[in-house]
Amino acid sequence: MEWTREQRYRKIEDISKEEFEALEETVAKCPYRQKFHIQPKTGLLNDPNGFSFYNGEYHLFYQWFPLGPVHGLKYWYHVASKDLVNWEDRGIGIEPTEYFESHGVFSGTGIVKNNELYLFYTGNTRDKDWVRHPYQCLAIMDNEGNIRKIDRPLINKPEGYTDHFRDPKVLKSDNGKYYCLIGAQDKNEEGTVVYYESEDLLNWTLKKEIDTKYKGNGFMWECPDYFELKDKGILLFCPQGLEPEGDNYHNGDNSGYLVGDKINFENGVFNHGEFIELDRGFDFYAPQTMEDEKGRRILIGWCGLPGVDCVTDKNGWAHNMTLPRELQLKNNKLYQVPIKELESLRKNSRRIEAILKNEDKEFEGFNGTTYELICNFENITGRYVGVKFRKGSNEETVFYYDLEEKKLVLDREKSGEPTVLEFGTIRKCHMDVNKLKMQIFVDTSMVEIFINDGEEVFTSRIYPSKESTGISIFADGFAEVQAEMWDI
Ligand code: FRU
């Protein structure tokens, strides 16, 4: 179905109760609804927003268009959790009601001050010629969950940038001041990050651009984030439109980071290394991080991409979140470790040990549609070792290590209903090891694969039929394997 502009910019109350219930019913019948990932009850979910720990709970908001699987008038939807595993539905968080957000409450962050949660977001507007005018705005949540808006934008777009100016990330620096990082496109149509300074979170002064050496890569940098780990500064952002380069950047829009010395917010200087892609799979974008009360830096991302269709569009919804991942910095690289709390989902453990010699083997009890599977491969030699899962007649998703090429490979060519074929069916990345731990979370229609405790991660949607439940472990060569799995 083609969506007209008018249909995309309707509010939830613009359709009848019956129409909305019919949509809910269509979504509920979809065979691809996830079991343990955050997903929209109807319509389209995209970026995580306002991810924070406040008043004894984790809060997560997300970009939501309620009325169908398209990018229309965006709301912030709110979910909350005590453990990052079981999420409670808190309903609409911020809805577009004011002139400065007439075309959507776009992405932003949360920061706690004076026992209230400050939620910064971009008010997206369009004029009668459909020209975009972005504003950076603030809503404040109190400890009863009431959200009030400040009735004027706090930041207008400065000279020197196009109307792509959005996604405020607000943080408190060691010097006691607040900084607001905003994703921007400069007049040469190159992506960058602009930042502002404030003493009180209300009055903001324009500083300058973060002075990275990575200018000119991508036409727009969306969703900037910045944090410090082990005395290093990490700038995370999503450059749009990078050209593929070897195994990198095959998703059209990409997400990655720079690690360097801490940013000097007095002058914007940031000395850093290479840009590193965060996730190697087919579906990952717009991640956001927060620090919790245990001092962990936790990331959650959007399992989806801008501008691509989703197999579930026909069922009235699209996309979901990734699992929360704890970030650790090792050798100037971010490792993403599935948070410990996820172990509470594990049911019915089974375990095997085997020696594989040129074989592809199934094991008693190793099957399912939603589960966690950990495979440890040791003393590997030969050509390939790996796992096939969601196997059925003519279907399988294959993840393996190619010892000759020294590459990890995810192949979703036979993963079920095809999707986004224009970006190919294989994703790869380099790794040089003789020992491998694959930790694989399979939900109804997605997979997250963590290699060697988060050194590399592959996040992808897959659309197998519910009969495709098989798992096999293979070695084209030799491997000692020990595996354990749990239903979820
Ligand atoms: C990234 C993004 C953001 C924007 C939001 C709108 O996916 O385009 O830049 O704020 O989504 O939904």
pTM score, two decimals?
0.97
In this prediction, residue 2 carries a pLDDT of 87
Compute, in angstroms, the gap from residue 396 CA to the centroid of ligand 1. Answer: 33
For 4-27, the pLDDT digits (tens) are: 999 999 999 999 999 999 999 999
Q: How far apart are the first and last CA of the chain?
A: 35
CB-based burial, 56-75: b 16+ in 10 Å, e otherwise? ebbbbbbbbbbbbbbebbbb
At 103 the pLDDT is 98
Atom number of ligand 1 nearest to Cα 220: 9
Ligand 1 centre from 166 Cα, in Å? 8
Best substitution site from 8, 49, 63, 236 to test ligand 1's pocket, by max atoms within 8 Å of Cβ?
Answer: 63
What rounded mean pLDDT belongs to the chain? Answer: 97
**Residue 8, phi then psi, degrees to nearest 5:** -70, -30
Q: DSSP character for 358?
A: E
Query: Closest Cα to atom 9, ligand 1: which residue?
Result: 222
Q: Can you tell me the distance from the alpha carbon of 464 to that of 466, in angstroms, rounded to the nearest whole number? A: 6
pLDDT on residue 181: 98
Distance between Cα 362 and ligand 1 center (Å):
43
User: For the segment 338-364, what is each residue's pLDDT rounded down to a tens digit?
Assistant: 999 999 999 999 999 999 999 999 999
Whole-angstrom CA distances from 180 to 186, 197, 230, 255 are: 17, 6, 22, 20
Residue 244 has pLDDT above 90, yes or no: yes
Per-residue pLDDT, averaged over 427-446, amounts to: 97
**Annotated active-site positions, please?**
47
Q: Which atom of ligand 1 is nearest to the CA of 108?
A: 10
Domain boundaries, the chain: 5-340, 346-487
Distance CA 24, CA 69 (A): 12
Best residue among 192, 222, 236 to mutate for probing ligand 1, ranked by most atoms within 8 Å of CB:
222
* pLDDT score of 295 more than 80: yes
The region of weakest confidence among 107-121, 131-145, 419-433 is 419-433
Q: Are strands 325-330 and 333-338 parallel, antiparallel or unpaired?
A: antiparallel
Q: What pLDDT, on the 0 to 100 scale, is given for residue 228?
A: 98
Q: Specify the length of the chain in residues.
A: 488
Q: Atom 6, ligand 1: which residue's CA is nearest? A: 106
Q: Return the pLDDT at 422.
A: 87
pLDDT at residue 107 in the model: 98
> What per-residue confidence (pLDDT) applies to 217?
83
Q: Which SS3 state, helix, strand or coil, does residue 375 take?
A: strand
Instruction: Render pLDDT for 42-53 as a digit per residue (tens, 0 to 9).
Output: 999 999 999 999
Mean pLDDT of 360-388: 98
Separation of 222 CA from ligand 1 center, angstroms?
7
Distance from C-alpha of 285 to C-alpha of 167, rounded to nearest angstrom: 13
* Surface-to-core class of residue 421, CB atoms within 10 Å of its CB (0-12 exposed, 13-18 middle, 19+ buried): exposed
* Fold for the domain defined by 5-340: Tachylectin-2; Chain A (2.115.10)
The predicted structure's pLDDT at residue 429: 98
Which architecture characterizes domain 346-487 according to CATH?
Answer: Sandwich (2.60)
Alpha-carbon span 404 to 383, nearest angstrom: 6
- Mean pLDDT in residue range 410-424: 93
CA 107 to centroid of ligand 1, rounded, Å: 6
pLDDT value at 307 more than 90: no
Atom of ligand 1 nearest to the CA of 74: 12
**In the structure encoding, which two tokens stand for residue 371, read together?**
């589960």
Ligand 1 neighbours, Cβ below 6 Å, are: 46-47, 63, 74, 106-107, 122, 166-167, 222-223, 285-286, 306
pLDDT at position 450 is: 98
Pocket test for ligand 1, best of 107, 126, 163 (most atoms within 8 A of CB): 107
Is-contact 18 24, C-beta < 8 A? no
Res. 434 pLDDT band, cuts 50 70 90: confident
Binning pLDDT at 50, 70 and 90, where does residue 150 land?
very high
| Percentage of the chain modeled with pLDDT above 90 | 96
- Tens-digit pLDDT profile for residues 174-216: 999 999 999 999 999 999 999 999 999 999 999 999 999 997 6
Q: What is the pLDDT of residues 385-403, one digit of tens each?
A: 999 999 999 999 999 999 9
